[in-house]
Structure 1
Amino acid sequence: MSTPTRPTPRLPRRAASPAPAATTPGRTDDYLRFTAGFRRLTRIDLDQYKRAQMERRIRSFAERRGEPDLGRYLRRLQDDHVELEAFLDRITINVSQLWRNPEQWEVLRDRLIPELAGTGSVRAWSAGCSYGAEAYTLAALLRRQAERGRTFRAEVRGTDIDERMVERAREGRFTAADARDAPLAELRAHFDAEPGGGWRASPALRKLTTFVTGDLLRTSAPRGGFDLVLCRNTVIYFNEDVRDALHARLAAGIRPGGYLVIGATERVADAASLGLQPVQPFIYRKTEA
């Protein structure tokens, strides 16, 4: 650009429009300080989640609790266990139910489980199991397969980052709302009715399941250690790089011929590079190679 040859009249400076709250430097910094402090407090890394969604969720919740300043709200979480529990309920994704997405369970029941049972062993992993609805549904299908005369060894392992959900999963208790889409005959066969319309996984079902606390973003399964991995309705909340790295770790944990089942709104970005071949919508088979 050329330099003017004569002075240019100075116009009054216009006040800058305020930037949106979530992108103002100071606000951004206090969010990052909050996530770092929260990670030290709970070992949950909020920076792995999609930034815009998580920041909006946290700020709106803190403001509704009467504390718009994230620094002060973090100190409140450190000092108030009840408030921390309420916050965890808000930001962790614990939406689940028995037989959620019935069409996927039909494919598991009719195709995947009979095929895997024929090998003599079905080692399954419910990754991001929340309070156990998915793991117990899978265990019920495995028991039903065994009742058809197939002799095979079965085990279901559930992991979740939220210790409270893991403890709840071990109890195996579900509300009437949790069971609203479950086939009644299957409920009666594998669960015990409780007062108030609730259900509890039978002792036989609980014997098939193990639940442990684990962070999917930091831990890996034994290489080829599972025949079947379910990780549904979880990665949609993660950044793309985090999602792809997680899918790679899940795929590595599946033995050749085993299967990965993901959620109906999710995708594996480059399945072939992970040794995964799509066989049904949202279901992938680990190739022999």
Structure 2
Amino acid sequence: MTPPEYEYLRKVLRDRSGLDLSADKQYLVESRLLPLARKAGLSGTGELVEKVKSGSTSLTTQVVEAMTINETFFFRDKIPFDHFRLSIVPEMLRARAGRKSIRIWCAAASTGQEPYSLAICLKEMGDALTGWRVEIIASDLSEEVLEKSRAGLYSQFEIQRGLPIQMLIKYFTQSGELWQVNADLRAMVQHRQLNLLHDFSQLGLFDVIFCRNVLIYFDQDTKIGIFKRLAKAAEPDGVVVLGAAETVVGLTDVFKPCPQRRGLYRPSSVPAMHSNAYAIGNGPKLAAMAGV
């Protein structure tokens, strides 16, 4: 791949997915795209770029998906899931008692470990959610990873990354060398192919939005645009959860951090959560989940 070909791909990736690659990442692009070129029967990444330039929509989509970062695992980083089960959901149970429904969006769901981790947290709450309607929407740019998420099939290596053994036994069934998420848990998650660079108002409003470990790959203007759209997708008293390396500070004022809760943000138009919503002792059912 020549430098001009790499520059062309950088622009395609930035325009199509928001992925902002630096000039010194050509080796990474070539290593990711060489298997795709061979699969397509091409001589190398140079010919692949020429096919993309010629207007091959299918191949362009495959290039974008091959370069999209899909690193994920169950209960990744742990702290956001502690916040979810010990403070966010209890607060929502109080705030939504009148309508008895909660909408949750995983905005960069990849192969499904995050939305299924949230579903497990909700299952573990038992009777607390009896009579409630809970929606979990899992979206991603890549249809390939969404198909894997829908199937809920994971290798032993994927299972071992973050999933406690008691949760494996309780919510998964072994299928040959793979483990499959049980049908009732899979039924809790709906899947949508979606590009965060585009309008997503058709999804409606959400009480909780997980948008973790994806914005770090975007440039500043792209992040600001996504934050503005996320603010329109969040309920006025909703919560947005970002990754540990992501923040709105210095970028936008549409969200404000929740005090002493790293990674949690509220729309700027409403007060922060009540302090008692963050108390660790929210009843025996929630306290018993501390090992998740």
TM range (shorter): 0.7 to 0.9
Distance across 1 between alignment mates of 2:6 and 2:173? 45
Q: Does structure 2 conserve the Cα–Cα contact (< 8 Å) formed by 1:117 and 1:150?
A: no
Is 1:72 aligned with 2:43?
Answer: no
User: What amino acid is the match of 1:95?
Assistant: E
Q: How far apart in 2 are the matches of 1:109 and 1:277?
A: 19
Larger Rg: 1
Equivalent position to 1:277, from 254, 257, 261: 257
2:267 paired residue number = 286
Per-residue deviation at 1:51?
3.5
Quick one: structure 1 residues 287 and 152, their matched pair in 2 at CA, closer, same or farther if it must change by over 3 Å? Answer: farther
Which residue does 1:199 correspond to in 2? 179
For 2:28, which of 47, 50, 57 is the aligned residue?
57
Alignment of structure 1 residues 241-280 onto 2, 5 Å: 241-270=221-250, 273-279=253-259, 280=261
Distance 1:100 1:238 in 2: 21
Aligned equivalent of 1:182, options 151, 155, 163: 163
Distance (Å, rounded) in 1 between the aligned partners of 2:194 and 2:221: 20
Higher relative contact order (Cα pairs below 8 Å, separated by 6+ residues): 2
Alignment of 1:1-289 (within 5 A): 27=3, 29-34=4-9, 45=16, 48-52=19-23, 55-59=26-30, 61=32, 71-75=46-50, 90-118=66-94, 119=96, 120-148=100-128, 150-180=130-160, 181-196=162-177, 198-221=178-201, 225-270=205-250, 273-279=253-259, 280-289=261-270
Answer with 204-213 or 112-121: which moved more: 112-121
Q: Distance in 2 between matches of 1:69 and 1:173?
A: 32
Question: Aligned partner of 1:104: which letter?
Answer: P
**Once the two structures are aligned, what percentage of the paired residues are identical?**
23
Instruction: Give 5+ residue unaligned stretches, structure 2.
Output: 271-292
Q: Offset of 1:270 from its aligned partner?
A: 4.2
Normalized against structure 2, the TM-score is what?
A: 0.74
The 1:31–1:157 alpha-carbon spacing in structure 2 relative to 1, beyond 3 Å, is: same
Compared with structure 1, are the counterparts of its residues 53 and 111 closer, same or farther at alpha carbon in structure 2 (3 Å cutoff)?
A: farther
Q: What TM-score, normalized by structure 1, do the two folds share?
A: 0.75
Q: 1:214 to 1:141 in 2, by over 3 A?
A: same
Q: Secondary structure at the match of 1:45?
A: helix
CA distance in 1 between partners of 2:50 and 2:226 (Å) = 32
| d(CA) in 1 for partners of 2:6, 2:211 | 29
Aligned to 1:10: none
SS at match of 2:240: strand
Gaps of 5+ in 1: 1-20
Rounded to whole Å, the distance in 1 between the matches of 2:43 and 2:243 is 34
CA contact (8 A) 1:136 1:205 kept: yes
